Amino acid sequence: MKPTTKWITGALVIAGVIYALSPGPEHLINNPDKWEFREQFVFLTGVSALSLMVLSMVISVRIPWVSRQMQGLDKAYVVHKWTGIFSTLLIVFHWLGEKAPEWLVELGLIPNPGDLEDGSGFSDLEIGLFQSGVALIEFVFYIIIILVIIALVKKIPYHIFRKTHKIFPGIFLLAAYHGATAQLKEHWLTTPGGYLLLVLVAIGVVAAFICLFQRIGASRKITAIVNQVEHHESGILDIRLATQEKPFIHRAGQYAFLRFDHDKEPHPFTIASSGDDPNALRFAIKSLGDFSGNLANCLRVGQPVEVEGPYGEFTFEAPAGRQIWIAGGIGITPFMARLENLANRGGTKQPVDFWYSTRSDQTSQFPDSLENLCRQSGIQFYPLNSTKKQYLTAEMLHQAVGSFANVSIWFCGPPAFAQCLLAGLSAYNFDKRSFYYDDFAMR
Ligand SMILES: Cc1cc2nc3c(=O)[nH]c(=O)nc-3n(C[C@H](O)[C@H](O)[C@H](O)COP(=O)(O)OP(=O)(O)OC[C@H]3O[C@@H](n4cnc5c(N)ncnc54)[C@H](O)[C@@H]3O)c2cc1C
């Protein structure tokens, strides 16, 4: 099962258990009428949406154990995106479940059921808490819809998405308040369901405060200093950092979030050095937008950089005996780290075939040392120049390795390139679980 399906199903099962342990099912059995059905539909969609929102909040906190369960932080962000989409759909159903019957009554299409509860059995405090939660959520609903549209429409620039996305933890707190107080309407706190719901809400609230107080990854941050910057002719900035008070322990292929003092936003970059010296870090950064395009003008030797991580599971550890590596453009960075790591250990112990596709000839490819490193590491290297129509195909891979049995493929490059290869590999019944890739798009 894909991580997204697994985690979304898990969150919905938790919601189902909470609901099953609430007074809701009993109310429905005792009073199987359409208004009671509507009432319970609203509760069930509300708890399910809340459960998905809590999962989404927990993923935002970048807890290493959680990311590992989802096959790496980049894949965790895919789960985060889909929990966001599904919770929004449930919120819409929740809202429609509440509103649509009222509209039908107003239009005279169904009879007015009169007062559905008598208000007795509730303290003034319970009524006040419930009503304040309901009043808040109406306005929260519209904000959620706007924020989700901004997140999904890729034409809206990434920096606008990032800024607006930061409102979400605050919005979650308001939704959590509604979730925690709406249950008072049916006396859920007389059952385990009510308390389990409060535990769920509490987990989300803690995660939301960690985001709001900018404590994400706080225990995984170190400070480093820029000690060398080289501008490669391919337009790549080759940056060397020296750690300050603490080393930065990582495995080849992992990545870190870098925050430079001229820009408040942390950006993810693969660590291009092997990790053998945890005090010296190398990053290769290509200009792909506002921040990376401006970096060359702002970087100076001696500048402090906050490094958060490491993250990622693209670490070349797979049961298969033979490996194929494929890099496209700046996707070379995890392979640089692994090559250095292998060269320091006297070379690879398993056969590795490495294709590197760029828009230039080998003479101007980044990094200059690549061919040497491949030779030292015992890796078969195949450079490709896409401007000369040298395109990699599944057939070329098959010809080189003979058979895909016992082969794992490590890919880092444009998503369209990966999709094209996967489509070709399906003709050879290649097991997609042996195709490892770092998803460079976090939206
Ligand atoms: C796991 C991972 C490893 C990466 N490794 C490298 C690398 O080694 N070298 C390299 O040059 N690039 C790498 N990138 C891409 C790099 O993070 C983006 O190019 C950079 O953040 C772009 O920012 P921008 O403002 O210049 O571009 P924009 O035009 O603003 O954004 C372009 C795209 O970059 C991504 N992006 C932008 N800002 C962020 C952010 N703060 N957090 C997450 N994603 C963001 C988004 O997908 C966005 O659509 C990596 C990305 C990921 C996710």
Structure tokens at 92: 């819409």
Q: How much distance in Å is there from the Cα of 442 to the middle of ligand 1?
A: 8
Measured N-to-C along each axis, helices 34-60 and 168-182 cross at an angle, to the nearest 10 degrees, of 140
Q: How much distance in Å is there from the Cα of 346 to the middle of ligand 1?
A: 33
* Nearest alpha-carbon partner for 266 in 324, 311, 313: 311
Residue 107 CB partners (closer than 8 Å, separation 6+): none
pLDDT at 235: 87
CA-to-CA separations, 75 to 7, 80, 86, 99, 313, in angstroms, rounded? 12, 9, 17, 36, 10
Cα separation, 322 vs 397, in Å, equals 12
Closest ligand 1 atom to the C-alpha of 287? 26
pLDDT at 57: 98
Helix, strand or coil for residue 114? coil
Q: How much distance in Å is there from the Cα of 66 to the middle of ligand 1?
A: 22
Atom 41 (ligand 1): residue with closest C-alpha? 267
Q: How much distance in Å is there from the Cα of 440 to the middle of ligand 1?
A: 7
Cα separation, 384 vs 362, in Å, equals 8
Q: How much distance in Å is there from the Cα of 127 to the middle of ligand 1?
A: 48
Q: Are 328 and 417 in contact (CB under 8 A)?
A: yes
Structure tokens at 18: 């909470």
- Tell whether ligand 1 has an atom less than 6 A from the beta carbon of residue 265: yes
Q: pLDDT truncated to tens, each residue of the chain (443 aa)?
A: 888 999 999 999 999 999 999 999 999 999 999 999 999 999 999 999 999 999 999 999 999 899 989 988 988 999 999 999 999 999 999 999 999 999 999 999 998 887 766 556 889 999 999 999 999 998 999 999 999 999 999 899 988 999 999 999 999 999 999 999 999 999 999 999 999 999 999 999 999 999 999 999 999 999 999 999 999 988 899 999 999 989 999 999 999 999 998 888 899 999 999 999 999 999 999 988 888 999 999 999 999 999 999 999 999 998 778 999 999 999 999 999 999 999 999 999 999 999 999 988 777 789 988 999 999 999 999 999 988 889 999 999 999 999 999 999 999 999 999 999 999 999 998 999 999 997 777 77
Closest ligand 1 atom to the C-alpha of 73? 1
Torsion of CA 65, 67, 71, 73, to 10 degrees: -150
- Rg, the chain, Cα only: 26
For residue 330, how many C-alpha atoms fall within 13 Å in the half-sphere facing its CB? 19
Q: Are 304 and 223 in contact (CB under 8 A)?
A: yes
Q: How much distance in Å is there from the Cα of 257 to the middle of ligand 1?
A: 10
Indicate the DSSP class of residue 222.
E
Q: Side by side, which strands form the sheet with 267-270?
A: 267-270, 255-260, 304-311, 221-231, 236-243, 280-286
Q: Are 336 and 284 in contact (CB under 8 A)?
A: yes
* Nearest alpha-carbon partner for 373 in 251, 277, 240, 273: 273
Query: What is the CATH architecture assignment of 3-212?
Result: Up-down Bundle (1.20)
Q: How much distance in Å is there from the Cα of 336 to the middle of ligand 1?
A: 18
For the whole model, what pTM was predicted? 0.87
Domain 219-311: give its CATH code: 2.40.30.10
pLDDT at 167: 96
pLDDT at 196: 98
- Tell whether ligand 1 has an atom less than 6 A from the beta carbon of residue 330: yes
Atom 49 (ligand 1): residue with closest C-alpha? 158
Q: How much distance in Å is there from the Cα of 210 to the middle of ligand 1?
A: 23
Cα separation, 85 vs 98, in Å, equals 20
pLDDT at 263: 86
Domain with CATH 3.40.50.80 in the chain: 322-437
pLDDT at 116: 64
Atom 34 (ligand 1): residue with closest C-alpha? 441
Closest ligand 1 atom to the C-alpha of 294? 26
- Tell whether ligand 1 has an atom less than 6 A from the beta carbon of residue 151: no
Domain with CATH 1.20.120 in the chain: 3-212
Pick the CATH number of 322-437 from 3.30.390.50, 3.40.50.80, 3.40.50.300, 3.30.930.10: 3.40.50.80
Q: How much distance in Å is there from the Cα of 330 to the middle of ligand 1?
A: 11
Atom 47 (ligand 1): residue with closest C-alpha? 441
- Tell whether ligand 1 has an atom less than 6 A from the beta carbon of residue 360: no
For tokens 């990053």, what's the residue?
283
